[in-house]
Amino acid sequence: MASTRTPHQIRNFVAGQFIDGVATFEKRSPVDGSLVSEVHEAGRVHVNAAVDAARTALETGWAAASVQKRVTLMRRVADIIERRFEDFVAAESADTGKPLGLVREADVPRAAANFRSFADTVASAGLHSYLTELNDGRSALNYAVRKPLGVVAVVVPWNLPLLLLTWKVAPALACGNTVVVKPSEETPATATLLAEVMAEAGVPAGVYNVVHGFGPDSAGEFLTTHPGIDGVTFTGESGTGSTIMRAVAASVKPVSFELGGKNAAVVFADANLDKAVDGLARSVFLNTGQVCLCTERVYVERPIFDEVAAGLAERARALRLGRPDDPNTTTGPLISLGHREKVLSYLKLAQDEGAGVIAGGGVPALGGDLDAGAWIEPTLWTGLDNSHRTVREEVFGPVAALIPFDTEAEAVRLANDTAYGLAAVTWTSNLERGHRVAQQMRVGMSWVNTWYLRDLRSPFGGVALSGIGREGGEHSMHFYTEPTNVCVQL
């Protein structure tokens, strides 16, 4: 099979073949602005071909393949990802600017784990049956069989491109669906590298397809509006989710959305402060704040407010920005200069709204060609409250506002005062309070004394502007399969 890329070339993958697009666009490094690759943009004809290939593969064997065959292939994909571990590390870091250590620790291991976890889930899924006895003496056996949803459009973001790609593709394929993937234009490499892995593993041509491009009037729009798809799974901005929902509304196609967040952390005075501040530093600044689950609002009980603010500011200043291959680097750049402009606009807005800047607040001077990258200082604010736009709108950067509270009821009210509902964290040594507060949070995921700790079988998703549906374990099967009830009179 031909290589995915000639030097600096990333092509579309359709029906088991790498193909050119209608044009190419440059992918530049967020670290220093250097050229990473030239990417082939898919036109409508390429998207049509990808959907047709997926439909053909679905109807000529993949949907009817045994569960054992599909899960065996998924486990083989996981094995090959691990064998090509450093290839994935290099590709993911080049596109995102993430430190190599972070990619090795989180992104690539999780990609392999996703395929194994969903293989286990699908392999162990059983039938639900019910014996019905009627008053006239008749009885019937009812049971539900789950069948693939069909051809699924998989649209993934740039912040965790490989992790979130495999989080969707693994259950989709294990359940017997075929997919057309549209990665972000900012992070095209690992979705394309995964195509090589799929082919090597023996996944039939057309089961996994990749089209590159942008959103409106490009591959994203062509795919999500295509009449040949049976459902859309998307992770990204809430506004884009709304656009996709409108696109599929006329045909009433199912959607699974994990969207934005303006996540809160609540720190009570009885919390273990060292653990809480360490946890906050991670939840605010991990991946340069570019994780949907990151904390942007920190509510601190008043008696410990100054101590928490000082401790978190100290940890922010201790972060080391630098090249991904430098072992001392803790924090990479933002994904692009364009995204940095958005984050900088919020830094200015916060100051206009009267924020006190206790850490960061601007663009660092790193020297040399790094100054051409999309760098920004980890930033903390005080002096804001829930009435300010900076506290209400998602920034998606390494930023947080620290706000004091006086009572438990006030903390819950402030945390829930948002249009979003993805995640929340409660820090307290009183586990009775921890359970009580966590259950009152209007979010899809509520942590106590930890953050980002996940069991892949548990439900993942949000409410309100943060999304529709749940992913993870059997919860993913509710989207990627359609149940048919069979009733047999006995």
Catalytic residues: 258, 292
Write the CA distances from 95 to 103, 181, 184, 253, 349, integer angstroms.
Answer: 12, 17, 10, 32, 29
Distance CA 198, CA 176 (A): 15
Check: CB of residue 75 under 8 Å from CB of residue 417: no
Q: Is residue 92 helix, strand or coil?
A: helix
Q: Residue 390 carries which side chain, given as an amino acid letter? A: T
Percent helix, percent strand, percent coil in the chain, to nearest 5: 40, 20, 35
Beta strand 356-359 pairing with 379-382: antiparallel
For 256, the token pair is 């699974």
Check: CB of residue 256 under 8 Å from CB of residue 234: yes
Distance CA 340, CA 334 (A): 6
Distance CA 233, CA 74 (A): 19
H or E element in which residue 407 lies? none
Q: How many CB atoms lie within 10 A of CB 45?
A: 11
Distance CA 224, CA 379 (A): 36
Number of residues written out for the chain = 490
Distance CA 185, CA 218 (A): 11
Check: CB of residue 380 under 8 Å from CB of residue 360: yes
* DSSP assignment letter at 321: B
For 484, phi and psi rounded to 5 degrees? -115, 120
Strands of the 356-359 sheet, one edge to the other: 356-359, 379-382, 399-405, 295-301, 263-267, 423-427, 445-448
The strand ranges marked E within 221-292 are 231-235, 255-258, 263-267
Q: Residue 320 carries which side chain, given as an amino acid letter? A: R
Instruction: Give just the sign of the alpha carbon dihedral 56, 60, 64, 65.
Output: negative
> Where does 250-373 have alpha helices with state H?
273-285, 305-318, 337-352
> Where does 250-336 have alpha helices with state H?
273-285, 305-318
For 4, phi and psi rounded to 5 degrees? -60, -45
